[in-house]
């Protein structure tokens, strides 16, 4: 990273500094090295406060991928491309089916709750907006963010299109909840999609049509434009390196597996704990290095690679793993080519 985040001795985010300056502060004993879920930063030991300049975060929502850009008037500090949470609604549908099937069998079950409150945000919609909010709160611990700029996603109703209009209310309700939470963090600005496109063309930038790629032009170009509209400053991208963020799909504890195994046995399934470690937690292993915790079996835990999610081992001993942090995603860096 060309510019390194800086936090004070009490954990307050200050203005980022150049990487050479960060190394000098560490050598002189004025700061210590820190890592926060894939981002390197330094913590000052002799300063609790400091002057900060306006920093904006541009947010480009998407159905599959989303872009975040942390930018000031003079520098672009960080680009993040996150994969959207798309599996919650399917899991809720499966859970509903299994519950109904259990109640149709002659097995013990809890009575149906007739007077539960209805309404609110659907689980799938809420999970999507919660990921955006988690990313913003994470960035706010490292950068003195004063403005959040979001491209407003507007649902359009169509006469006689019941299937199309079905998603109108959940989107608007989830967006309103997200905006209310963002306003607790920083000043909120919103722009329509056509306004972002006009500003992008005026800046001479182009957007890629390959939405699932890890290119900067896929999503972070719009988040850069959004931040530039409000914060001003340079209009030519000076930093196209990206941090790719992939949320983990944890399988919550279920009564048993949906499909019986040999002999008609339905063993327990799912869970978010592995021998004292919360699944998804980052640990450091003497053999496999920094990785995250997966499932458990026969007194051992499985470890997975942060970059690919590939399982590295199934036989790691818990006492050999040094806990680093809780996390609900994995990350890896992607550099712009060409």
pLDDT band per the 50, 70, 90 thresholds, residue 109: low
What are the CA-CA distances from residue 323 to residues 133, 292, 298 (Å)?
25, 10, 21
In a domain, 335, yes or no: no
**Any domain includes 334:** no
Q: What is the mean pLDDT of residues 107-131?
A: 79
Asked if residue 323 and residue 290 are part of one domain, the reply reads yes
Contact 303, 283 (CB under 8 A): yes
Mean pLDDT, residues 35-42 taken together: 93
Whether 83 and 181 map to the same domain: the answer is yes
Co-location of 64 and 192 in the same domain: yes
* pLDDT at position 209 over 70: yes
Mean pLDDT, all residues of the chain: 90
CA 47 to chain CA centroid, Å, is: 30
Which residue in the block uniquely carries the two structure tokens 């509903």?
Answer: 96
Q: What is the mean pLDDT of residues 144-154?
A: 94
Give the rounded distance of the alpha carbon of 187 from its chain centre. 20
The answer on pLDDT for 212 being more than 70 is: yes
Both 201 and 178 in one domain: the answer is yes
Final residue belonging to a domain, choices 214, 247, 280: 247
Does residue 151 lie within any of the structural domains? yes
Q: What is the DSSP letter of 263?
A: G
**14 and 133 together in one domain:** no
d(CA 32, CA 166): 52
Q: Locate tokens 């937690």: which residue?
A: 281
Residues spanned by the domain of 281? 248-328
pLDDT at residue 101, as a whole number: 77
How many structural domains comprise the chain? 3
Q: 72: buried, middle or exposed (CB in 10 Å: 19+, 13-18, 0-12)? A: buried
Q: Report helix angle 220-231 to 193-202, nearest 10.
A: 80
Confidence band for 190, pLDDT divided at 50, 70 and 90: very high
Domain shared by 65 and 152, yes or no = yes
- Predicted confidence at residue 215, as pLDDT, reads 92
Are 140 and 270 part of one and the same domain? no
Specify the CATH number for the domain of residue 74: 3.30.420.40
Pairing outcome for strands 311-316 and 147-151 = unpaired
Task: Tell me whether residue 35 is in a domain.
Answer: yes
92, part of any domain: no
Of 222, 247, 272, the domain-final residue: 247
- Asked whether the predicted pLDDT for residue 2 surpasses 80, the reply is yes
- Token pair of 220 as six digits: 């972070």
Burial of 13 (0-12, 13-18, 19+ CB in 10 A): buried
Least trusted range by pLDDT, from 62-66, 94-98, 102-106, 267-271: 102-106
pTM for the full model?
A: 0.89
- Within-domain flag for 279: yes
326 vs 111, residue with greater confidence: 326
Q: Which residue matches tokens 């690919």?
A: 308
Confidence band, pLDDT 50/70/90 cuts, at residue 337: very low
Q: Give the pLDDT confidence score for residue 289 in this predicted structure.
A: 95
Residues in CB range of 175: below 8 A, 6 or more apart:
129, 152, 153
Q: Which of 215, 247, 279 is the last residue of a domain?
A: 247
pLDDT at residue 123 greater than cutoff 60: yes
218 with 301, same domain: the answer is no
Beta strands in the chain (DSSP E): 3-7, 13-18, 31-36, 39-44, 56-60, 65-71, 76-83, 147-151, 187-191, 242-247, 273-274, 277-278, 282-285, 289-297, 300-304, 311-316, 322-325, 329-334
Is 253 a member of any domain?
yes
Same structural domain, 194 and 254: no
Report the DSSP beta bridge partners of residue 187.
147
For residues 243 and 275, membership in a common domain is answered with: no
Does residue 176 share a domain with residue 137?
yes
pLDDT digits (tens, 9 = 90+) for 222-273: 999 999 999 998 889 999 999 999 999 988 887 778 788 888 888 888 888 9
Quick one: 202 and 73 in the same domain?
Answer: yes
Model confidence at 75, in pLDDT bands (50, 70, 90)? very high
CA distance 74 to 31: 24
156 has a pLDDT exceeding 50: yes
Smallest CA-to-CA distance from 278 within 242, 241, 328, 232 is with 328
Query: Range with the lowest mean pLDDT among 122-126, 167-171, 283-287?
Result: 167-171
Position 338 pLDDT exceeds 50: no
Band (117; pLDDT cuts 50, 70, 90): low
Decide if 101 is inside a domain: no
């Amino acid at each position: 990273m060309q510019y390194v985040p800086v936090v004070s001795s009490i954990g307050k985010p200050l203005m980022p500094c150049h990487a050479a300056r960060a190394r000098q502060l560490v050598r002189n004993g004025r700061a210590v090295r820190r890592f926060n879920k894939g981002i390197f930063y330094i913590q000052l030991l002799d300063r609790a406060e400091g002057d900060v300049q306006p920093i904006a975060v541009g947010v480009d929502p998407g159905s599959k991928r989303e872009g975040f850009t942390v930018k000031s008037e003079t520098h672009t500090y960080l680009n993040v491309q996150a994969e959207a949470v798309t599996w919650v609604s399917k899991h809720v549908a499966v859970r509903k089916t299994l519950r109904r099937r259990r109640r149709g069998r002659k097995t013990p079950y809890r009575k149906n709750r007739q007077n539960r409150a209805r309404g609110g945000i659907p689980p799938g919609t809420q999970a999507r907006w919660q990921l955006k909010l988690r990313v913003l709160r994470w960035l706010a611990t490292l950068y003195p963010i004063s403005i959040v700029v979001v491209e407003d996603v507007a649902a359009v109703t169509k006469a006689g299109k019941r299937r199309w209009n079905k998603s109108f209310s959940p989107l608007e309700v989830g967006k309103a909840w997200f905006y209310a939470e963002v306003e607790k963090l920083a000043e909120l600005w919103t722009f329509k999609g056509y306004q972002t496109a006009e500003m992008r063309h005026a800046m001479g930038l182009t957007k890629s049509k390959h939405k699932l790629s890890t290119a900067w032009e896929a999503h972070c170009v719009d988040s850069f434009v959004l931040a530039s509209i409000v914060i001003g400053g340079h209009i030519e991208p000076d930093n196209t390196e990206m941090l790719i963020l992939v949320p983990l799909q944890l399988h919550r504890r279920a009564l048993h597996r949906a499909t019986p195994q040999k002999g008609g046995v339905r063993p327990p399934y799912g869970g978010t704990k592995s021998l004292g470690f919360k699944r998804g937690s980052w640990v450091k292993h003497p053999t496999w290095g920094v990785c995250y915790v997966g499932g458990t079996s026969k007194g051992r835990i499985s470890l997975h690679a942060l970059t690919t999610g590939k399982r590295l081992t199934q036989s790691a001993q818990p006492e050999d793993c040094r806990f680093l942090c809780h996390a609900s995603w994995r990350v890896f860096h992607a550099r712009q080519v060409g």
